[in-house]
Structure 1
């Protein structure tokens, strides 16, 4: 949702007359593209214990495959937009989808955790590249209220993927092997390729391309990173993302290995938590203009902090009871719906002259935070939630500091 390509920094006055049109098929294809990350991750998360057993590896090493995926996503989004500003949208987009599909096939056939880790990096890099170019196409073809409306539709419909992903992954585990989930992602990659060929035109004609590429992006990046308010809100959203992925990386072990939930039951709980996050984000959108956005963020931060403290108490003294873990996870995920989208929105508002660069940097920071936290959360192994709970508290506390200390101004 925060990862618009850098070309939105180009003033509307410099845009030439558009030949391509914004169609329902194009919008549907971009929604499809934005589902890459949650589907490639959430379909796979319920299988973590089985992957560790089948590949004779540890929980931390399995969680490292999340790290490489997220780091790839971050780099792909950071690089994909500027490169497509030089080369156009359609060919780089098709190349990215094909690379993502090939990496998914390697994951499905992997003989070792090392091969999977490398393939997941490529999968994430190509997926992030495709996502940012897909959004760039929308920015090329829409403006003003139409752009806002279309991006909101993409974000709302895209929120279904984190709900469907774990359920689909659990169904695959019940009926087949965890490797089938990667074959499913590869099949989706083929479908995405066909959708792009049919519905996505070249939206950036040669006369609107520029040779600045990454160099121009770095220059604009220095400007946005010099804005204290922007940096504060990036910290708000990035730290919240870290807390969220401490949950994503470890919850399967906490609920399945420690508390005996089946993959199906776990996936239903995961989907319910994702739904809580989606509902909170929609509620925040309805309250926009009537309730201070900073107050909504603060409410989410306090709820996330409380869930982390309760989780730590349960892990240290009560052996992480199932009901407590499920309640803490739901509160944490619901709180993210108030923290991440609103933090990203206020960050973008703080740098109105560089919205594309601001969005790209936000996306980079958030996915790096996710990738860094995932393996740390698993350092205690499969039978303790103490590292995860500690990271939940740390993420909420850093997010709170970003709001109250760094981003002192704003509304």
Structure 2
């Protein structure tokens, strides 16, 4: 339980640091007398820093062990959070968010690599499913917590809370998380070796197939996160309170699906569960597109939307486990590339949703359905099973 809480907290850095301060963006724009677009750069800076930080933290953790880079990353996160809380201008806030993101990236990538160090096979998939119970609650609770904080403090108080969260995890890692990577499994972090490792991963069809499957499915989730507020409130006329209930129920769906996946793993192969999750997600995504295109009543949208979003709880742990399964010696680098692909592909979804303009929910559901179909195609064409890979290798040798 202690290990689960620590690794879950580390992997929740992203949603907590993004979602908790979203309700404060309008106030920040007013305080800094800056445009909404300028203030939104604080979010862009965090996402970019999160991707860049994973690329660096992953190989470092393969070389120096997980604890030292993780402690350094947590120190960076705390420093960035403090700087954000006291920033006198939006430019310094953007810089502080970049530092904060670099530290958060270490927590996310090393938590995933540590799971690979400690577990294999179905045990690894089960633990990834359990992590959803912890970090799956973060995107549900973070906006609510951020909104409540704003009732008695300014937006700076949000960053004070994030500072305290980072300090709590720093203490937990320092005193309660043993080093999961033995010294004999480490290797030097030379630039040439790191680049060769990343090239090997990018040319490994099995890893790339599962990583793209996870990334494309993550992009569908990004489309939902970026577009659902406008689609459900502006088009379907939900109140902010009603929208928060829908958003929360979908988040609960992810958590429950993750726990169902943990129960099913071992009874069914991970590939079978992943295929089922992708199939249901794709069908549900097409149903949401049909509902918005045909202007069907709201329940016709909300039911398949809940199904599609919930499938993240099945797709994510199985795709992550299968992607990392064959890379024990380079788990940090593999975890980093897995995370970067998710955020890079997911980042494409937000502007695509915006291209359709306001006053319609079709762009959101079209992007969700499109990425869902691409995720299923990636799985079917690239993500070969171990048996298929062995067969093809043997055929090549003949």
**TM-score normalised to structure 1 length:** 0.76
Residue 389 (structure 1) aligns with: 365
Residue 276 (structure 2) aligns with: 299
Matched, 1:360 2:319: no
Matched, 1:228 2:228: no
Distance in 2 (CA, whole Å) between partners of 1:296 and 1:88 is 32
Residue 10 (structure 1) aligns with: none
Unaligned 5+ runs, structure 1: 1-23
Residue 309 (structure 2) aligns with: 333
Matched, 1:191 2:153: no
Q: Measure how far apart 1:386 and its partner are.
A: 3.5
Distance 1:81 1:397, change over 3 A: same
SS of residue in 2 equivalent to 1:212:
coil
Q: How does 1:241-260 map to 2 (within 5 A)?
A: 241-260=218-237
Distance in 2 (CA, whole Å) between partners of 1:117 and 1:302 is 40
Q: Is residue 100–residue 189 contact of structure 1 (8 Å, CA) maintained in 2?
A: yes
Q: Is residue 211–residue 338 contact of structure 2 (8 Å, CA) maintained in 1?
A: yes
Distance 1:289 1:378, change over 3 A: same
Residue 134 (structure 2) aligns with: 157
Distance in 2 (CA, whole Å) between partners of 1:293 and 1:147 is 11
2:261 to 279, 284, 292: 284
Distance in 2 (CA, whole Å) between partners of 1:27 and 1:295 is 26
Matched, 1:348 2:360: no
Residue 393 (structure 2) aligns with: none
Distance in 1 (CA, whole Å) between partners of 2:73 and 2:184 is 23
Count of aligned positions? 385
Residue 272 (structure 1) aligns with: 249
Unaligned 5+ runs, structure 2: 388-398
Residue 74 (structure 1) aligns with: 51
> Larger relative contact order (C-alpha < 8 A, sep ≥ 6)?
1
Q: Measure how far apart 1:391 and its partner are.
A: 1.6
Residue 72 (structure 2) aligns with: 95
Residue 395 (structure 2) aligns with: none
Distance in 1 (CA, whole Å) between partners of 2:132 and 2:312 is 15
Distance in 2 (CA, whole Å) between partners of 1:145 and 1:153 is 15
Distance 1:117 1:388, change over 3 A: farther
Residue 391 (structure 2) aligns with: none
Distance in 2 (CA, whole Å) between partners of 1:406 and 1:177 is 48
Q: Measure how far apart 1:95 and its partner are.
A: 3.1
Q: Measure how far apart 1:50 and its partner are.
A: 6.6
Q: Measure how far apart 1:389 and its partner are.
A: 2.1
